Amino acid sequence: MNIQTQVQLKPFNTLSLDVTASHYLKVHSTQDLVDGLDYAKQQQLNVLILSGGSNMLLPQYIHALVMHMDIQGIENITEDEQSKTIRVAAGYIWHDFVLWTTEQHLYGLQNLALIPGLVGASPVQNIGAYGVEVGEFIESVQVYDRQIEKFDTIFAKDCDFSYRHSIFKDNPNRFVITHVTFKLLKHPHLVLNYGDLRQAVGDEQTAENLQKQIIQIRQSKLPDPKDYPNVGSFFKNPIIQQQVCDLLVEKFPYLPHYPQAQNNAKIAAGWLIDQSGWKGKQHGMVGMFHKQALVLVNYGQASLTDVQATYRAVQHDVYQKFNILLEPEPVLFDETGLIRSHLE
């Protein structure tokens, strides 16, 4: 175990915020994880689990032990004629894993290509795109439970998966994800009913072409964090009651909306932001991207304070026009490494 001090985290968060951690550990194994947690306990430090850094907002200084997950490996568990079950380590890059599944003729995750981050973070947000959520293909999640100080397996039915949500989001200081077990299909089942996906895929309805089109669509709309530091989609698509949606559509006929369970509807946050005048607009060093209004970009040397000022201005203008409060997706951390509400 190699604990480092006063470590710069700018290379490890995709919004490129200038952040210094008082203590830092790269976790290569489950033993590193246990040793790191013991160290934090002895030193009375909070623990911040860092994955791909693609869905987090960090202050300029963090007095905590930042544990950077880098456990690697893929293990075959079981298979039958219809599916194959594999266990993937938390430190594996998500997009590389999706590409690997397609090369192995394993199907289900192609719609989730090019999402930034690591495999271990995928269940936390129940990442989703183009009509698919990762929770549909997760069989179980392997964790270290800090409450009982033991390794454990949580099966999908107990993960409480819903839109951008899971049990891991409810208990961020309890579970550390070490591996994720996926049950993937051996025969393609293409999900093409989202946006212009069917048209993009055209007559070549293969998983390989679907993945290719997803990558091209995302690259055409979403900026590469290396060029434009960002955390992907910054706001959740609001889910509202169908009757509220109907009233909005009467007033704004072009509002993109999608039916949901329990007589609800999901509406497009990007469209609301665009209609509020924020697409391509900057507020100091931070702004909403000119090709995709849902993406907040750090155009300079922005701090967390700059980011908060911008997204709160966006929230204000959208609320003024549509009476809908947009909820940020990224997780907000404070100076002690603990998660804070965006409403505080």
* pTM of the model as a whole: 0.91
DSSP summary character for residue 330 = S
Q: Which of 51, 83, 122, 233 is catalytic?
A: 233
Using CA atoms, how far apart are residues 37 and 32, in angstroms rounded to an integer? 9
- Domain residue spans of the chain: 4-70, 74-189, 223-333
Measured torsion, CA atoms of residues 237, 242, 247, 249, in degrees rounded to the nearest 10: 50
- Look at residue 22 in the predicted model and tell me its pLDDT: 98
For position 193, what pLDDT does the model report? 86
* Residue 172 pLDDT: 87
C-beta separation of 216 from 228 below 8 A: no
Looking at 83, 133, 166, 329, which residue is catalytic?
A: 329
pLDDT the model gives residue 163: 87
Tokens for 168, please give them: 């891991």
* 233 flagged as catalytic: yes
Kindly report, residue by residue over 159-188, the tens digit of the pLDDT: 999 988 999 998 889 999 999 999 999 999
Torsion from C-alpha of 228, 230, 235, 236, nearest 10 degrees? 110
* Annotated catalytic residue within 164, 198, 204, 208: 164
Question: How far apart, in whole angstroms, are the C-alpha atoms of residue 109 and residue 191?
Answer: 10
Domain 74-189 listed as CATH 3.30.465.10: yes
**Given this model, what pLDDT does residue 238 score?**
96
* Ranges under pLDDT 50 in the chain: none
Question: What dotted CATH number matches 223-333?
Answer: 3.90.78.10
Active site residue 51: no
The fold for domain 4-70 equals 3.30.43
Q: Which residues contact 183 (CB under 8 A, 6 or more apart)?
A: 83, 84, 85, 137, 138, 139
83 labelled catalytic: no
Count Cα neighbours of 239 within 13 Å in the Cβ-side half-sphere. 9
Residue 122: per-residue pLDDT = 96
